[in-house]
Every structure is written in C-alpha cells, then in structure tokens.
Amino acid sequence: MHMIRRALSFRISNPILSGLYYSFFWMMLGALLLSLLLWSSGMKEQSLSRLIYVVHAIAAIFGGLVAGKRSGKRGWYHGGVTGILYGVLIMLIGFLALDTSLRIGDLALLGTVFASAALGGMFGVNLRNNL
C-alpha cells in the first residue's frame, strides 16, 4: 500500500517551480471565482481590472509562501523570483494568446506580484522554522 501511495504522489523539489505550480493553482481558483461573480451579478468585464490584480497578488503570495517554505532560507529571494517568473509567464501568455503589447499596467503587475511573492516567501521561511 505504501508503494502505491508513493507512486501516485509527486513532489516538486525545486522551491521556485513548486511556488509557480501553487501560484497558477490559486490563480485558476481566483479566475473561477471571478467568472462566477460575473455570471451571477450584473457586473461588466471592464470593472474587474482591480479584482484581477488582487487575484494575481493572492496567487503570488501563496506561491511565494510555498517557495519560501520549501527553500528554508532566503525566502524573499525565492519568493521574489517566483513572483517575477509568474508575472512574466502571465504576460507571455497574454502576448501569445491575445496578441497584446507591453503596457504600464504590465509593469505594475510585475511589481505587485514581486512584492507579494517576496512577502509570502518571508512568511514561508518562518513557517518552516516554527513547524
């Protein structure tokens, strides 16, 4: 039974990759919640711009938290790198899928996810030390 459980589970050992995995997971949950909010209310898509930044910031916090917890040291660094990679991947997906160009809002997104993930990484290191 132990062999089956070990074969079916996997663990990403690199802290930055595991942080990116969790960031995208939380981003998908946030996108689902925003979609349900749009569907259930009379909101327009144009009014979601601030909420999108909040979803990305929360996703980056959780990604940085996981990266900092898995690394055990330099949480702000691992979280910040996770946040920058998350932001660049989001911009790259937007560029490739929607053919958008680089705007000031994209730089604000990079700054937001960097700061959020670095903060999450600092908390993540402290969670590892206390548990």
Render pLDDT for 53-109 as a digit per residue (tens, 0 to 9). 999 999 999 999 999 998 888 888 999 999 999 999 998 988 888 877 788 888 899
Residue 36 lies in a domain: yes
* Residue 61 burial (C-beta neighbours within 10 Å; 0-12, 13-18, 19+): buried
Residue 56 lies in a domain: yes
Residue 4 lies in a domain: no
Round to whole Å and give the CA distance between 32 and 71: 30
| Of 127, 119, 129, 17, nearest in space to 67 by CA | 17
Residue 7 lies in a domain: no
Residue type at 109 in one-letter notation: L
Q: What is the pLDDT of residues 93-118, one digit of tens each?
A: 888 888 777 888 888 999 999 999 99
What pLDDT score does 6 carry?
A: 61
Q: How many domains does the chain have?
A: 1
Residue 93 lies in a domain: yes
Does residue 1 have a pLDDT over 70?
no
| Sequence-ordered list of residues with C-beta below 8 angstroms from that of 107, at least 6 positions apart, any chain | none
Does residue 31 have a pLDDT over 90?
yes
Domain that holds residue 77: 15-130
| Sequence-ordered list of residues with C-beta below 8 angstroms from that of 82, at least 6 positions apart, any chain | 15, 16, 19, 20, 23, 60, 63, 64, 67, 117, 121
Residue 47 lies in a domain: yes
Residue 109 lies in a domain: yes
Give me the count of residues in the chain: 131
What pLDDT score does 32 carry?
A: 94
